[in-house]
Structures are given as structure tokens and as C-alpha cells.
Structure 1
Amino acid sequence: MPGFAPRSRRRRAMNEINMVPFIDVMLVLLIIFMVTAPMIQPSRVDLPSVGNSASQQQDAVRVVIRADGAISVGRDRQGQPQDIGSSGLAAAVQAAQAGSPEVPVLISADKTLPYDSVMQVYSQLKQAGVQRIALAVQPVTTR
């Protein structure tokens, strides 16, 4: 039988991705997250205190936010701060700066106050054009 040519059986390359291992990995990750998610406790952020900070050299405007949300504004070396509402905050700070935008403003807040309240005061001062704003920290006392 002439004319029979030997056929070569070549393996064709498989051009499909095997999805089974990917699905197995995803299911294992899903189970891990489902088990660990109820165990995660929402944490509380304790803001740091400063150990040895340089003492304040310049007279500054101090904005004090108490635990009840009341705000008072005053200069460091000029007696008691005056209680104001949140609506008059920008005007009171600019009056305490006495037309000098270089005077820094320190925001002091009660430890139990939510951080969002402090950032709202900070935002109000930034929108009013106050240039130098800082958050005051309490120094760590050594025992």
C-alpha cells in the first residue's frame, strides 16, 4: 500500500486557564474573612503626648474646646479666655490676633472630645484665613 504517510500526533497546546485552583483559593480566603470579621473590635485611638518639647516662645491665641463642646478664645498672656459660640469663632480669633496673621493659633481640646469636633474647629479657622494653626499637646509628666 503505497501512499500511506505516517501521521504525527502532536499534542495541541491547551489555551484555556484552569479556574479550579483560583476558585479554591477564593473560597479559603472567604472563609478566613468570615471567621475573623466578627472578632475584630473597633479600636480607640489615643493621641500621643509629647515628652520633651520646646517651650512656647511666642504669645499665641488659644482656642479651648471643653468636653461639653463650649469654645473659648483668648491670648496666652492676657487673662481669661472669653466664651464664644461656634458661629463667632473666626471673628473672635481674628480680633485676638489684632490684625497680625503671623500670630499662631493653638487649639486645645478635652481628651474625651471626639477628634471630629477638633477638626471642624480647625476647618473653620482655615476657611477664615488663619494661616498658622497648631494642635496643643499635653507634656508627659515623669514620676
Structure 2
Amino acid sequence: MRQRRLMNQINVVPYIDVMLVLLVIFMVTAPMLPTGTVDLPSVAKTSQVKTDPVTLTVKGMDKIDFEDKETQSRFSSVSEDELLEKLRTIQETNPDRAVVIAADKSVRYEAVMKLMDLLQRNNINKVGLLVQPAGK
């Protein structure tokens, strides 16, 4: 009696058939899917900055420079209490005034986050980060 040889090859023809059927189904149903629309803002709709923001420059862990271009005032190495006092007076006169934080790349991230946390805890809402384009 002759022994049967085991077949050591996989028959891939059924898998190819299934994949072709799925491909046809997706090709037929894809044009029927509804497309979404995205409303992008136009240049005319953007809000223009009415006043210059207050710039806080982080020099180190507890070294913060304060600059207000509107009143032409500049202070270096301001303490947290002095900073909050100045920002409160600015917020009282103009609550829409923004605060911008600038920091060099050598300043620790922790110092910037500490300043942002201080501003958030004292209800200074319009806080942003000043960035430079990549070429500079």
C-alpha cells in the first residue's frame, strides 16, 4: 500500500476570491457615502487684535520681565506679587487684554508652566505663548 504524501502548500485562491469580492463591494459603496463639509474661517472674519498684549518674558525659575507696550512700561525681575498687582490693574481697565508668555528655549519648561499656573489661579484668562517662525 502506498503512503499518502502530505501537501505542504497553502491554497491561496479562495483568499484572493474573498479579497476581490470585498474590493468590489467597497468600490461600489464608497461613492454612496455622504461627504462632510468643513467651514473654514475666511480672512475677513478673523478678529483683529485691538490692543497690544502684555508680554511676560521668562528668564529663569523666578526671573520674569514685564513689558506693556501700550503704556510703554517695562520692568525686569518682577516678583509674583508685583506681577499679579500689575496684571490686575490692567485687567480692571481692560478685561479683554491678553497676556503673552515668551521664553527662550534654554528656559526650563517647569518655569513656564509655573507662570501659566500662577496666572490661571488668579483668573487671568487670556494667556498665550509667543512663538517665533522656524527660520529665525
Say if 1:67 and 1:113, in contact at 8 Å, map to a contact too: yes
Counterpart code for 1:108: A
2:127 is matched with which residue?
Answer: 133
1:9 is matched with which residue?
Answer: none
Q: Stretches of 4+ moved more than 4 A in 1? A: none
Alignment root-mean-square deviation, CA = 2.5
Q: What is the rounded CA distance, in whole Å, between the counterparts of 1:68 and 1:118 in structure 2?
A: 8
Pick from 55, 64, 71: which aligns with 1:62?
A: 55
- Higher RCO, Cα 8 Å, sep 6+: 1
Unaligned 5+ residue runs, structure 1? 1-53
Counterpart code for 2:100: L
Q: How many angstroms does 1:68 deviate by?
A: 6.9
Of Structure 1 and Structure 2, which has the larger fraction of its residues in helix? Answer: 2
2:88 is matched with which residue?
Answer: 94
Larger Rg computed on CA atoms: 1
Q: What is the rounded CA distance, in whole Å, between the counterparts of 1:74 and 1:109 in structure 2?
A: 13
2:5 is matched with which residue?
Answer: none
Say if 2:90 and 2:97, in contact at 8 Å, map to a contact too: no
Counterpart code for 1:81: R
**TM-score (normalised: structure 1):** 0.52
Q: What is the rounded CA distance, in whole Å, between the counterparts of 1:94 and 1:74 in structure 2?
A: 14
Say if 2:60 and 2:111, in contact at 8 Å, map to a contact too: no
**TM-score (normalised: structure 2):** 0.54
